[in-house]
Structure 1
Amino acid sequence: MSTDYQQAREALGARLRELRLSAAGGRLTGPQLAQRLGWPHSKVYKLEGGRQTAAADDLRAWAEAVGQPDVTDELLTRLKGFESHIRSWRRSLAAGHRPVQDTWNMAVDRARTIHAWEESVIPGMLQTADYARAIFQRYADLYGTRRDTDEAVRSRMERQAWLYRGGRVFRALVWEAALHALVCPPSVLVAQLDRLAGTIGMDTVELGVIPLGASLRIPAANGFWVLDEQLVIAEDWHAELWLDDAETVASYLRVWATLRESAVYGADAQNVLNRARRGLHPRA
């Protein structure tokens, strides 16, 4: 169980204890509350200590038993928050990049439709092995993590098999800045741009490029992915966020749709790729 998840569970437990101690009509002991609820008193202490995850019905019953039914929505919101996980890079990358990639692979494998937005790098599903290797090396340097670059690259390349299965669609938006960013040697970036050009026209890929000179309705902020309109995965410098509450997912999809209004596709996207390629001068 992730440390972040456990901290959220303990915070909910502390709130439940606070409600027990401030019960309408006077504070209740654990056994007294357990008797009202018809539970073994050990369950009360496990919930308060964050050693057991409450069910929604447990929280409704608790609020009623302490005479504060008006806090039910608050408690349910806290419980819903368990479904949103903040995975700090320090902890996630403790064993290297390969385990993180394997986790992504499992999530992607279940998806049928993926919406992605990247403002500074090429989306992982469309990266060449050499480009991916350069990215992993940069982040290993930044975070001082275990160097399992080859294993991480293999895992990312395995994920791309998804693109060759029928009935799936990868809707990717990329800002033109990512096409020029030399996070790898120029020769590697040239090959990467060729790879992107080759995806235009694939049945399973819809690649949109937002030119640098395009008018933007919203700022080109941090990248994110939406899987099956049910899960958002977004990255920040301190953590990777996995968010699955409906309101948040809907918000990210609105952002994606708004950014898409500035994108070009097909031959126009090829022209932007060609412009970026002409600006590069590969060298050994």
Structure 2
Amino acid sequence: MSTDYQQAREDLGVRLRELRLTAPEGRLTGTQLAERLGPGWSKVKVSMLENGRQTATADDLRAWADGTGHPDAYSELLARLRGFESHIRSWRRQLSAGHKSVQDAAAAEHKRTRVLTIWESCLVPGLLQIPDYARHVLTRHADLMQLPPPRRDTEDAVRARIQRQERLYQAGRQHRVMMWEGALRSLICPPSVLAAQLHHLASAIGLDTVELGIVPFTASLKIFPGNSFWVYDERLVIVEDWHAELWIDDAVSVATYLRVWDTLRESAVYGADAHNLINAARRALTAR
């Protein structure tokens, strides 16, 4: 959990405590408030919420506002919750409408971005994926998230992902793409699909809108290759984790991710050297 997220949760807790202590009929203890709010509430839960150790739900905030005699405070509390909760977008919640909606959200950010900076540690980035490779990636993710068939829109998501790639060829845009050599060798798909994907990846080297770098296994590293992240200009970072996407937009954090990218770049190779790594990965597939 990010420091900013935790700080926002603690700030909300301070506000909740203020409401409890300024109840119109007199200050309430945590036990009194829990008893007033009924089943599902306890002194421990009240303390957890006030100390920023538990994230409130919208229902919790409604009950709190009413129980402390401040029903008009609900809209303010909800706005606070939405303000910091929106930065952590759980996969379960995002995928309630399928994978295509996730692609559409990323496409909207891409559309308004001039410089897109990407680090990928284990997969070829979506902007450089071929349909078969994307299909396997999305299917494996749907399996992990246990998406039922009605919410599996894999083909729509694949089309949306490939359509985004049109922006690779638009003048005035810059795509600074860098990946770990492991991304060239991860068999998230059959070897034949990965071979085709690597051939397509090699074709991106030389595009004037794409700067493609690869950090070799043998490179000396100044920082360990961590989670994948995408930086949109200097205003937003999207970090992928197993449970969620983190949307980070405070200037200090964005600058940190750009600094991480710049540090990793010192270990990357480009041009002919990148071609050689891709070709080596392809040869390894044919030797299997």
Q: Normalized against structure 2, the TM-score is what?
A: 0.75
Q: How does 1:68-147 map to 2 (within 5 A)?
A: 82=84, 85-145=87-147, 146-147=151-152
Per the alignment, residue 239 of structure 1 pairs with: 244
Question: Structure 2 stretches of 5 or more lacking a match?
Answer: 1-6, 26-65
Alignment check: 8 A CA contact 1:171 1:205 kept = yes
After superposition, the Cα gap between the structure-2 partners of 1:46 and 1:263, relative to the gap in structure 1 and judged at 3 Å, is: farther
Cα RMSD of the aligned pairs, angstroms, is 2.9
The percentage of counterpart residues that share the same residue type is 53
Q: How much does 1:100 deviate?
A: 0.7
Per the alignment, residue 16 of structure 1 pairs with: 15
Q: How much does 1:278 deviate?
A: 0.6
Q: How much does 1:106 deviate?
A: 0.6
CA distance in 1 between counterparts of 2:214 and 2:246 reads 25
Give aligned pairs, total: 239
After superposition, the Cα gap between the structure-2 partners of 1:264 and 1:139, relative to the gap in structure 1 and judged at 3 Å, is: same
After superposition, the Cα gap between the structure-2 partners of 1:120 and 1:10, relative to the gap in structure 1 and judged at 3 Å, is: closer
Counterpart residue identity of residue 15, structure 1: V
Q: How much does 1:47 deviate?
A: 3.4
**CA deviation digits over 1:222-251, x for unaligned, max 9?**
100000111000110011111100111011
Q: Normalized against structure 1, the TM-score is what?
A: 0.76
Per the alignment, residue 280 of structure 1 pairs with: 285
Q: How much does 1:15 deviate?
A: 2.7
Q: How much does 1:161 deviate?
A: 1.0
CA distance in 2 between counterparts of 1:137 and 1:246 reads 35
CA distance in 1 between counterparts of 2:191 and 2:23 reads 69
After superposition, the Cα gap between the structure-2 partners of 1:269 and 1:237, relative to the gap in structure 1 and judged at 3 Å, is: same
CA distance in 2 between counterparts of 1:268 and 1:10 reads 47
Per the alignment, residue 46 of structure 1 pairs with: 72
Question: Structure 1 stretches of 5 or more lacking a match?
Answer: 1-7, 31-41, 55-77
**CA deviation digits over 1:135-158, x for unaligned, max 9?**
001111111113211000001011
Structure 1's consecutive aligned runs of 4 or more residues displaced over 6 angstroms after TM superposition are: 8-11
CA distance in 1 between counterparts of 2:185 and 2:225 reads 16
CA distance in 1 between counterparts of 2:138 and 2:273 reads 31
Counterpart residue identity of residue 168, structure 1: R
Q: How much does 1:46 deviate?
A: 3.4
CA distance in 2 between counterparts of 1:92 and 1:130 reads 23
